[in-house]
């Protein structure tokens, strides 16, 4: 998955159809596939080991892990019904080794409980937008093409980006743009949106892009990056509750890991990565007061890091897949049993 998006013309040509193999499985190379498989694979060597992919997408990562770890079983979770349909085709050769569930990833505990699974051996969360969602123009995620202002990852969600734009107060719009888009011109953009929606409610992305561009100083409009990028990111996160879902996922995922289990998270912007970094930092730290000569076992860290800080894709991968450029990978491993209460503070 990926939150980045190349800038294109207002009405670019329709995206090429998805490439498929001879069996109808979608051919898709996900971000940092080999590195993630190498880091999670050692936890999946025992017969019946369970790997959970909470952002299954088109199953690029999941199929690589199942191929490399023949003893593993997959629980694939995604809130996007279109993605699940493609994933099922992609995973056809692993029949009997996977179960797919439509759910938001902060529903992990409920999904595992429903399946009768108490512990898991590895988990991957590949955050943000998938290539499928970016390329499906009618979903409204892309600021580079005119489309309905939808932005829902789950079509069952009743709230669309258009509804957020047309019903939120100016103060609420400022809050959304600042918090989720880190937009320095949030007040100017929110004021312009409120003025324009009084004339006509927002329904399509091209008009929103025009309003954003007109609201910004000329130097910003013609500077680096698309002027609507931060606003579209903020709306998408608000519509889908992405940061709240991530804050709910992380402690539950860490709590479900068996000893030796591993969790990997791919983040694509600072808001996501900051939350992952803080939660993992708590997990790998002793809970004892500073300068205590001997740390009692109940206060010892339950996890250890497997990456030094956040790993980035290689230059070669970025060259072949520019959407990977902003990816940041963090992985931790459970080394001791026991509850990690401090993790709940990340919510």
pLDDT at residue 32, as a whole number: 96
pLDDT at residue 222, as a whole number: 76
Confidence band for 17, pLDDT divided at 50, 70 and 90: very low
Q: What is the pLDDT of residues 158-182, one digit of tens each?
A: 999 999 999 999 999 999 999 999 9
pLDDT at residue 129, as a whole number: 75
- Residue 210 marked in a binding site: no
Tell whether the model's pLDDT for residue 137 goes beyond 90: no
- Residue 278 marked in a binding site: no
- Residue 105 marked in a binding site: yes
Q: What is the pLDDT of residues 86-96, one digit of tens each?
A: 999 999 999 99
**What mean pLDDT is predicted for residues 115-140?**
82
Query: Is the model more confident about 120 or about 133?
Result: 120
pLDDT at residue 134, as a whole number: 62
- Residue 45 marked in a binding site: no
**What mean pLDDT is predicted for residues 198-221?**
94
> Two tokens at 69?
């770890």
- Residue 202 marked in a binding site: no
- Residue 218 marked in a binding site: no
What domains can be seen in the chain, in order of their start residue? Answer: 33-131+242-346 (3.40.50.150), 142-240 (1.10.150.170)
**Percentage, residues of the chain above pLDDT 90:** 74
Confidence band for 131, pLDDT divided at 50, 70 and 90: low
User: Which range, of 5-9, 80-84, 281-285, averages the lowest pLDDT?
Assistant: 5-9
- Residue 48 marked in a binding site: no
Tell whether the model's pLDDT for residue 139 goes beyond 70: yes
Mapping DSSP onto H, E and C, the string for the chain reads CCCCCCCCCCCCCCCCCCCECCCCCECCCCCCHHHHHHHHHHHHCCCCCEEEECCCCCCHHHHHHHHHCCCCEEEEEECCHHHHHHHHHHCHHHCCCEEEEECCHHHHHHHHHHCCCCCEEEEEEECCCCHHHHHCHHHCCCCCCCCECCCCCCCCCCCCHHHHHHHCCHHHHHHHHHHHHCCCCHHHHHHHHHHHHHHCCCCEHHHHHHHHHHHCCHHHHCCCCCCCHHHHHHHHHHHHCHHHHHHHHHHHHHHHEEEEEEEEEEECCHHHHHHHHHHHHHHCCCCCCCCCCCCCHHHCCCEEECCCCCECCCHHHHHHCHHHCCCEEEEEEECCCCCCHHHHHHC
């Amino acid at each position: 998955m990926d939150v980045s998006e190349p800038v294109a013309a207002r009405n670019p040509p329709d995206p090429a159809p998805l490439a498929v193999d001879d069996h109808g499985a979608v051919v898709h190379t996900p971000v940092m596939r080999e590195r993630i498989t190498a880091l999670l694979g050692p936890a999946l060597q025992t017969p019946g080991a369970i790997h959970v992919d909470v952002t299954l997408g088109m199953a690029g990562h999941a199929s690589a892990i199942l191929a490399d770890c023949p003893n593993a079983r997959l629980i694939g979770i995604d809130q996007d019904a279109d993605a699940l349909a493609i994933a099922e085709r992609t995973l056809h050769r692993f029949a009997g080794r996977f179960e797919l569930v439509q759910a938001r990833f902060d529903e992990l505990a409920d999904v595992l409980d429903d399946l009768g699974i108490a512990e898991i051996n590895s988990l991957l969360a590949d955050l943000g937008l998938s290539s499928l969602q970016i390329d499906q123009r009618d979903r409204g995620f892309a600021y580079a093409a005119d489309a309905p202002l939808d932005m829902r990852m789950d079509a069952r969600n009743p709230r669309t980006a258009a509804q957020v734009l047309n019903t939120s107060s100016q103060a609420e719009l400022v809050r959304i743009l600042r918090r989720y888009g880190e937009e320095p011109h949030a007040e100017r953009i929110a004021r312009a949106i409120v003025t324009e929606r009084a004339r006509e409610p927002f329904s399509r992305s091209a008009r929103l892009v025009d309003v954003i561009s007109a609201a910004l100083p000329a130097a910003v409009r013609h500077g680096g990056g698309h002027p609507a990028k931060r606003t579209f990111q903020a709306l998408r996160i608000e519509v889908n509750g992405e940061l709240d879902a991530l804050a709910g996922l992380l402690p539950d995922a860490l709590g479900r890991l068996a000893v030796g289990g591993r969790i990997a998270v791919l983040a694509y912007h600072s808001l996501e990565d900051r939350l992952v970094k803080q939660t993992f930092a708590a997990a790998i730290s002793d809970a004892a007061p500073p300068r205590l000569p001997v740390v009692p076992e109940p206060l010892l860290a339950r996890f250890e890091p497997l990456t030094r800080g956040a790993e980035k894709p290689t230059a070669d991968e970025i060259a072949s897949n520019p959407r990977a450029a902003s990816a940041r990978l963090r992985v931790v491993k459970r080394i001791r049993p026991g509850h990690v209460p401090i993790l709940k503070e990340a919510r």
